[in-house]
A = this chain, B = another copy of it.
Amino acid sequence: MKSINSVAVVGGTHGNEFSGIYLLRKWQQDASRITRESFTTQTLFANPKAHEENKRYLDSDLNRQFAVEDLANPELANYEQSRAKVMNAVLGPKGDAKTDFIIDLHNTTSNMGPTLIVLQSDDFNIRMGAYVKAQMPEAVVVFEDQIPLAEHKFVCSIAEQGVIVEIGPQPQSVIRQDVLDWMETMTGHILDYVDLYNKGQLPELPPTYEAFRYTETLKLPENAQGERIGMVHKNVQDNDFRPLHGGDPIFTLFDGSEICWDGDYEAYPHFINEAAYYDNNLAMSLAEKIAVEL
């Protein structure tokens, strides 16, 4: 892989996820915290208008607007669709981007702790996970590499390399110090990693580490009319990255009855009961546990 010359740190892709927005302000006053020798770093406040209105988005989720065909379609003209085209011009264009690596900062209401979501299982990302976990033992690494990076619709898919820093639990429209500290620490380790990678100075890393690979998304229980009729079971709530087996209770219906998971593998729920996912009636994501080999 060619070296990383240009890095963008993006915050406020969702206007009510405060940690990235406040960190950008801090770093804009003291850029030394995100500056490293071997590359340039820029920051971008992705959706200030949604933040002003204290909402995730105005018209549609900005972090789902970066499909190549959508960026090329001038008829997709709502606020976030327009803003995506601007961001693509500034950081991209996707497929031939002037930015080599994007770190996109997010919060979740789920109890996921400090999570690094990587979208490719190449050497650069695999070693990044190892490095971050070595520096920050509480970090969790999730591979969402089920499709090529270019097919993702995320902000960070504009560049050839991109990751999501996803920290929780934090309610929407709140700043928690623990969550802010985790986000700043993880972002710093990622920037350190890129600098060491560029310079060929990576320390010795363990030959293998534990991570998770996305498998599927579960919906909240609905009736035939598409109305929500249940919620995440209290045994599952807050237990992000704890194993779930077939037959375990997973939902409680409002009538008091329980639904058990019918899966046939050991699953690791995450984004459990994430507030923003109610828009699409999603309950959680599932992953399998993997041993990543360097």
Contact = CB atoms under 8 A, between A and B. Distances in A.
Contacts of A173: 172, 275, 278
A31 to B, nearest CB: 15
A159 to B, nearest CB: 28
A231 interface: yes
Interface stretch (A35-43, A69-77, A232-240): A232-240
A109 interface: yes
A177 B254 contact: no
A62 B173 CA distance: 19
A242 to B, nearest CB: 16
Contacts of A172: 171-173, 275
Number of copies: 2
A252 interface: yes
Contacts of A199: none
Contacts of A25: 254
Contact of A171 (B109, B232, B233, B254): B109
A67 B231 CA distance: 37
Interface in A229-285: 231-234, 237, 252, 254, 273, 275, 278
A26 interface: yes
Interface in A174-228: 174-178, 180-181
A84 to B, nearest CB: 22
A273 B234 contact: no
Contact of A231 (B180, B237, B273, B278): B180
A55 to B, nearest CB: 8
Contacts of A275: 171-174
A234 B171 contact: no
A234 B179 CA distance: 10
A124 interface: no
B177 A233 contact: yes
Contacts of A177: 231-234, 237, 252
A174 B254 contact: no
A291 B150 CA distance: 64
Given A22-B254, A25-B254, A254-B26, A175 B231 contact: yes
22 contacts: A25-B254, A109-B171, A169-B171, A171-B172, A172-B172, A172-B173, A172-B275, A173-B275, A174-B273, A174-B275, A174-B278, A175-B231, A176-B231, A176-B234, A176-B237, A176-B273, A177-B232, A177-B233, A177-B234, A177-B237, A178-B234, A180-B231
Interface of A: 22, 25-26, 109, 169, 171-178, 180-181, 231-234, 237, 252, 254, 273, 275, 278
